[in-house]
Amino acid sequence: MSQLARLYLARHCDVANPRGVLYGYLPGFGLSEKGLAQAESLGSRLAAHPIRVIRTSPLERARQTAGIIARHLDSPEVIPDDDLVEARFSLYLQGVPYRQVPWRRPLWWVHMVYPGLLRRDETVTAMADRVERSLQRLLDSLPEGNGVCVSHGDPIQAFWIRHLGRRPWALHHLQCAKGGMLVVDYVDRRLSDVHYVAPQVAGTPAGADAAGATPPEAAAHL
């Protein structure tokens, strides 16, 4: 009989960012009111599943998302995991307002054309590898169960485009929105399917992402 496991790879929820800066690894960036509502919704949606372990990026916005999800579950273990941390290139961009990035951080242009080409950048392969390591830890502890990883946009999208067989420059063309997640299915410990679930809060139609549209490759079902 086949051994089935379903894991959830969630992006942290919306962040309180009144100055509109790239926050990267900076402290003091917790969830906004919208993000709190998104996290409650994630927890409610996952409460129907027997989840015993949550692994999370150690950054504040991810830990807060994981903590809210955990309150909806039956006392899961919450484990910080450095493999789920933000993309390394964020260290170069952090603290700069979004609109000023192109001229204050000109290497951003190179990163957008080909992520991982720069020495201070992180390759898509490296990000996908570390996300897979974290998922593998969940599989090792829950061979036939359910678990959650909470991470950030670029690492999640790196894992996603690898599954789809797309090239590194597709990293920024495929969006897992804040509060969205990938549902990752395994059969006999081998990856069998990945599909996207868009973020949802009360009053928001299922399947709509933060911009009100579903990414092209997304299939919004849980």
Residues in the chain: 222
Closest of 167, 177, 168 to residue 201, by C-alpha: 177
Is residue 58 situated within a structural domain?
yes
Is residue 138 situated within a structural domain?
yes
Residue 204, number of CB atoms within 10 A of its CB: 17
Is residue 95 situated within a structural domain?
no
Number of domains making up the chain = 1
Is residue 202 situated within a structural domain?
no
Is residue 173 situated within a structural domain?
yes
Please tell me the distance from the alpha carbon of residue 77 to that of residue 50, in angstroms, as a whole number: 12
In the three-class reduction of DSSP (H, G, I as helix; E, B as strand; rest coil), residue 146 is classed as strand
Is residue 79 situated within a structural domain?
yes
Alpha-carbon dihedral angle through residues 219, 178, 39, 29, given to the nearest 10 degrees: 170
> From first to last of its 222 residues, what are the pLDDT tens digits of the chain?
788 999 999 999 999 999 999 999 999 999 999 999 999 999 999 999 999 999 999 999 999 999 999 999 999 999 999 999 999 999 999 999 999 999 999 999 999 999 999 999 999 999 999 999 999 999 999 877 899 999 999 999 999 999 999 999 999 998 999 999 999 999 988 999 999 999 986 444 444 333 333 333 322 223
Whether 186 and 143 have beta carbons less than 8 Å apart is answered as: no
Instruction: Give the side-chain half-sphere CA count within 13 A for 43.
Output: 20
Residue 160: domain span: 4-20+31-86+123-197
Is the sign of the CA dihedral 192, 84, 139, 210 positive or negative?
negative
Is residue 133 situated within a structural domain?
yes
Is residue 106 situated within a structural domain?
no
Residue 54 belongs to domain with CATH number: 3.40.50.1240
